[in-house]
Structure 1
């Protein structure tokens, strides 16, 4: 179990513009980030969550997450938990000035840990949905992965509309929400179905398809990695229809735990307003997902 005390968070450089050692932008670096990197904001400045009553907060927040969901939560080279979710949890602890712990669990055990009282909050890319709300309550959304089109670099610039793509072949992973979206809104394109994302990306690189449509985060990681060999770029979008691609990610808490949920909402809104969220986003998503 990892302890996330406020002092430890400050030492790690999550606040105050402290330099991250070989790990990406600081507050100063974020100011000079490429204009193409758009940081999404999920907080309405007109709706400010109330500052939590410290007397209603627990002595500590016991976070749980997973270790198999990069770049959100995974084990670093030193074996310690790292990732966007882990950094957000640490920043929340600093904002609330509260001691926190972080434990790694299999994804299927996260909700059970909340229900049994073994954990207070799960930050593990849990999608907010009608089904998930039946077992847990959620903080406000802190991330949403859009769908995106990708084309080979150097292909003629094109509008991404149903009419403009009518003569194009578009690859997509079979039996996914992305395929369903293409069939409903881009029904004149030639849809090429692939068994997995790797096969679809390989087809785009070889020129077997004109475009690829899929999850923005996973595509951004591929574009920013060595496997893509700089072949391709995002075009058009983003596409965020909740009916197909979900409402986004929230921090799950036990049903009825309103004091903690409201405290998390306050901390998340403060992290956005103070620029901390932007710094962390740019660290983990150097190629814009949006």
Structure 2
């Protein structure tokens, strides 16, 4: 990619590689304990008959870092790319499986005209989209999290500790609304730029920051954070505010494919392969 956006994504990829090394050296044991899992321990899914599948083509985009992006060598890569490879290997159809990047506006038409069988690009699981697609079991959700300086972490119960405290949040966002509803006694302090939010946390102008756990995790692992801060309290899933998470979309007339993908996702998690994949792309767990 030659665009400014492409340069930004490649820069994020380089920064993430450095963050991975830093995070694994400093917090490997904690990371091992905080990997997501969305299947119950007693859930079992039978492997469906895959003989009708002559090919399985996934479509994604190139601008959803670190899920799908173009790396420094110009190659499509990311969490979704590796997840698709795992799914295809689990279904034993690697010779009939591929993933292709398209502009966002072309993803839905690709399924409609038969150029692809599945979308793996963060298509929202909404009632409206359910009219047109079947969705797999969610494989990732994005919790809201609090971060604070290591020297002044709020104690449990968090709601009581935050009473009267200054909690920074990006203004006019779902996270601001969730913060005000979850912690009505906190002093919500809104910002228009994340960088200002982080700077004020480091300088002590605010007591904590509330926001998207994934984005906060990358900042915590970055050199700019200077190991000043960490997550406080647990993850706030709040699906009514933050959505159902990431799932793979397939056409409504192909329930067998949705079943097959669910089988593969279950096996990937049960084998520990999902944990390895998650740790590779998310150096500081946001769960």
Q: What's the TM-score once normalised by structure 2's chain length?
A: 0.85
Q: Which of 36, 45, 51 is the matching residue for 1:49?
A: 45
1:208 aligns with 2:197: no
Map of 1:142-157 to 2, 5 A cutoff? 142-157=139-154
* Equivalent position of 1:256 in the other structure: 253
Tell me if the contact between 1:137 and 1:254 (Cα under 8 Å) persists in the aligned partners: yes
Change over 3 Å in CA distance of 1:106–1:207 after alignment to 2: farther
Map of 1:37-186 to 2, 5 A cutoff? 37=32, 38-57=34-53, 59-98=54-93, 99-159=96-156, 161-186=158-183
Change over 3 Å in CA distance of 1:179–1:24 after alignment to 2: closer
Q: Secondary structure at the match of 2:160?
A: coil
* Equivalent position of 1:266 in the other structure: 263
Alignment deviations for residues 35-66 of structure 1 (CA, whole Å, 9 cap, x no partner)? 34411111123232221202222x22111111
Report the CA distance between 1:24 and its aligned residue.
7.0
Alignment deviations for residues 69-120 of structure 1 (CA, whole Å, 9 cap, x no partner)? 1111111121111111111011011111112111111223222222222211
Report the CA distance between 1:232 and its aligned residue.
1.4
Structure 1, 153-162 or 128-137: larger mean CA deviation: 153-162
Structural RMSD (CA): 2.3
Change over 3 Å in CA distance of 1:152–1:35 after alignment to 2: closer
Report the CA distance between 1:188 and its aligned residue.
1.1
Report the CA distance between 1:170 and its aligned residue.
0.6
Q: Secondary structure at the match of 2:99?
A: strand
Map of 1:172-251 to 2, 5 A cutoff? 172-251=169-248
Tell me if the contact between 2:50 and 2:260 (Cα under 8 Å) persists in the aligned partners: no
Structure 1, 188-197 or 234-243: larger mean CA deviation: 188-197
Tell me if the contact between 1:111 and 1:135 (Cα under 8 Å) persists in the aligned partners: no
Between the aligned partners of 1:73 and 1:129, the Cα distance in structure 2 is 22
Tell me if the contact between 2:154 and 2:162 (Cα under 8 Å) persists in the aligned partners: no
Change over 3 Å in CA distance of 1:137–1:185 after alignment to 2: same
Between the aligned partners of 1:187 and 1:110, the Cα distance in structure 2 is 41
Structure 1: gaps (5+ residues): 1-21
Q: Secondary structure at the match of 1:56?
A: coil
Tell me if the contact between 2:153 and 2:232 (Cα under 8 Å) persists in the aligned partners: no
Report the CA distance between 1:218 and its aligned residue.
0.7
Report the CA distance between 1:196 and its aligned residue.
3.2
Tell me if the contact between 2:62 and 2:70 (Cα under 8 Å) persists in the aligned partners: yes
Q: Which of 19, 30, 33 is the matching residue for 1:35?
A: 30
Q: Secondary structure at the match of 1:213?
A: strand
Q: What's the TM-score once normalised by structure 1's chain length?
A: 0.84
Structure 2: gaps (5+ residues): 1-17
Report the CA distance between 1:254 and its aligned residue.
1.4
